[in-house]
Copies of this chain bind each other. A is one copy, B any other.
Amino acid sequence: MKLKVLAAALVAVAPSTAVFASEPIQPIRPAQEINLAQAELGKKLYFDPRLSKSGFISCNSCHNLSMGGSDNLRTSIGHNWQEGPINSPTVLNSSLSVAQFWDGRAADLKEQAGGPIANPGEMAFTHTLATSVLESIPGYVNEFKLVYGEDGIDIDKVTEAIAEFEKTLVTPNSRFDKWLLGDQNALSADEVAGYELFKNSGCVACHNGAAAGGTTFQKMGLVEPYQTDNPAEGRYAVTGKDADRFSFKVPTLRNVELTYPYFHDGAAWSLEEAVNTMGRIQLGKNFTPEENAQIVAFLKSMTGDQPSFAMPILPPSAANTPQPQPFD
């Protein structure tokens, strides 16, 4: 008898599974296959400003987990208050991207993590100096040894641990995901209408997959050139191919309500503006105010559970730890 009930329940689940299987956007799945020891170490490193020359800038400075994994600035602030060249993309769900950075120059999160540390305009350090700081801190020496089962700290382990932590930064359980999973009451009529518009207008050609983006590189200004003072040339900087000029990784729309301002130059501060611009320059469409409002309502339904964890407590430096050099 109990088995029959279970079988009936399984049958009942099957149709709703089928619902999202045919959709261009899939639910975000909770983090799986995480090396928890690495991720816990990586969490500390993610929050540790001692990976920067100044001792002031950490990964979390520009990918702030209190703020949708971004800094909510047009472009970021780097060492010595340098103005960054491009908008800081969210770290949330970045494990779902085909590559990292706007131009995809890093293959994965591990490769990405090493970039800002050594970028003179960002954390302005070197991998060697960052590693020697960590090697001088007894708490880190012990934790790396426990996590990796051997002595020694190198940039490979550092970036691997940070990447493992970042793999935990997925945001399941948005109202849109609940709807995808079969809960018809999870979205309002306007939000559902916005999703239909999003699909029928062609937005999903680029914004697809679980992250609603991050699966391909696409030209910014497909139908109409995008006007910007920002000199970034996108994927061209990586491939050198003319066809890749102004081609950028399609940003995820997950948690997009939290990750303003929008576009690689951070020029659009509201979703309303961003939706209108995208419609015009990518699709040749002028959304009506009502359509725009419906699409924005749909986009806001993709805000998922934000990462929740205790602030890490960082192991203190020792007397021989190289001192930060904020003003040199």
Q: Which residues of A contact B (CB under 8 A)?
A: 47-50, 54-56, 61, 64-68, 71-73, 77, 80-81, 83, 257-258, 260, 269-270, 272, 306-314, 316-317, 319, 323-324, 326-327
Tell me the smallest distance from the CB of A93 to a CB of chain B, in Å. Answer: 15
Specify which of B49, B61, B72 is in contact with A317 (CB 8 Å cutoff). B72
Contacts of A327 in B (CB 8 A): 83
Are the CB atoms of A310 and B312 closer together than 8 Å?
Answer: no
Are the CB atoms of B73 and A56 closer together than 8 Å?
Answer: yes
Task: Specify the main secondary structure of chain A where it touches its partner.
Answer: loop
**7 pairs of A and B residues whose beta carbons are closest in the complex:** A81-B81, A270-B319, A306-B313, A66-B314, A308-B310, A56-B77, A258-B316
Give this chain's copy count. Answer: 2
Contacts of A48 in B (CB 8 A): 66
Are the CB atoms of A310 and B313 closer together than 8 Å?
Answer: no
Are the CB atoms of A311 and B309 closer together than 8 Å?
Answer: yes
With A67-B314, A77-B54, A311-B311 as known contacts, state yes or no: A72 contacts B324, CB within 8 Å.
Answer: yes
With A77-B54, A308-B310, A310-B310 as known contacts, state yes or no: A269 contacts B323, CB within 8 Å.
Answer: yes
CA distance A72 to B65 in the complex (A): 22
- Specify the chain B residue showing the minimal Cβ separation from A327: B83
Are the CB atoms of A319 and B269 closer together than 8 Å?
Answer: yes
Contacts of A68 in B (CB 8 A): 316
Tell me the smallest distance from the CB of A113 to a CB of chain B, in Å. Answer: 18
19 A-B pairs besides A55-B71, A81-B81 with CB distance below 8 A are A47-B66, A48-B66, A49-B64, A55-B72, A56-B61, A56-B77, A65-B311, A66-B312, A68-B316, A72-B324, A73-B324, A73-B326, A83-B326, A260-B317, A306-B313, A308-B310, A308-B311, A309-B311, A310-B310
Which of A68, A307, A327 has the most CB atoms of chain B within a 10 A radius of its CB? A327
Tell me the smallest distance from the CB of A250 to a CB of chain B, in Å. Answer: 22
Some 13 contacts from A to B, beta carbons below 8 A apart, are A55-B73, A56-B61, A56-B77, A66-B311, A72-B317, A72-B324, A80-B81, A81-B326, A83-B326, A83-B327, A307-B311, A308-B311, A311-B311
